[in-house]
Amino acid sequence: MKLIVGLGNPGKRYELTRHNLGFLVVDRLAAKTGIVLNEERCDSVLGQGRWEKETVVLAQPQAFMNRSGSAVGSLLAEIETNAANLVVIYDDLDLPFGQIRIRSRGSAGGHRGMLSILEYLGTAEFSRIRLGIGRPPEGIDAADHVLENFDETERAAIDEIVDQAAESAIYLVKEGIHRAMARYNRPRG
């Protein structure tokens, strides 16, 4: 069983912020796969279904970003799977806006939601789909940047980026992490 978690912050205030890209991708995955996000367990909104011959749970932790680890750990225990079957989708300041980077393991890279998950699980051995949001302009704090809504230029591109990220997650489940990395780890262009 695969657990695909999109990171974000709960509530209307954060709905269209850069930090909620993970939630947006999980919403798109739900639409593409027919999995309905209609359950609330383990401090998460989730849905379960079958696609690509695999049972998949899609989840959006409802703890704030910096406390995502507890929800993810509880979900893994609840669905009786391990970190090897986990895919985490989240925003990344260190990638140019719109770039997708898939990894089979790694550090938190300064992302506090990922740090929470790594600390809670005690392992970095799980897949992740990082979505570039770019660095803030000079004089803007990174914490403020991630919590701002997408700007006009970004809004024009976000639908395509979210769609491509959802497709990359589907491809990862179907073809495996190495084929997904080979296909999607290219600069956006």
Instruction: Give residues with Cβ within 8 angstroms of 151, minimum separation 6.
Output: none
Can you give the CATH number for the domain in which 90 is found?
3.40.50.1470
Which domain does 167 fall in, by range? 2-184
| Coil, strand or helix at 42 | coil
In this prediction, residue 51 carries a pLDDT of: 82
Which tokens sit at 41? 């367990």
Mean pLDDT of all residues in the chain?
Answer: 94
Q: For residue 188, what pLDDT band results from cuts at 50, 70 and 90? A: low
Distance set, CA 40 to CA 36, 47, 153 (Å): 12, 9, 34
pLDDT greater than 60 at residue 189: no
- Residue 145 catalytic? no
pLDDT greater than 90 at residue 176: yes
DSSP state of 70: H
Q: Is residue 176 part of a domain?
A: yes
Q: For residue 143, what pLDDT band results from cuts at 50, 70 and 90? A: confident
Q: Is residue 189 part of a domain?
A: no
Q: Give the burial class of 103: count Cβ atoms within 10 A of its Cβ; 0-12 exposed, 13-18 middle, 19 or more buried.
A: middle
Out of 30-34, 48-52, 57-61, 79-83, least confident range = 48-52
In this prediction, residue 120 carries a pLDDT of: 95
Rounded to an integer, the average pLDDT of 58-62 is: 97
Q: For residue 178, what pLDDT band results from cuts at 50, 70 and 90? A: very high
Q: Is residue 60 part of a domain?
A: yes
Rounded to an integer, the average pLDDT of 25-36 is: 97
Q: Are strands 39-41 and 44-51 parallel, antiparallel or unpaired?
A: antiparallel
Q: Is residue 180 part of a domain?
A: yes
* Residue 88: closest CA among 71, 179, 39: 71
Q: Give the burial class of 53: count Cβ atoms within 10 A of its Cβ; 0-12 exposed, 13-18 middle, 19 or more buried.
A: exposed
Which amino acid belongs to residue 93?
A: L
Q: What is the pTM of this model?
A: 0.95
Number of domains in the chain: 1
Q: For residue 54, what pLDDT band results from cuts at 50, 70 and 90? A: confident
Q: For residue 110, what pLDDT band results from cuts at 50, 70 and 90? A: confident
Rounded to an integer, the average pLDDT of 17-23 is: 95
Task: Identify the active-site residue in 19, 111, 145, 178.
Answer: 19
pLDDT digits (tens, 9 = 90+) for 151-166: 899 999 999 999 999 9
pLDDT greater than 80 at residue 99: yes
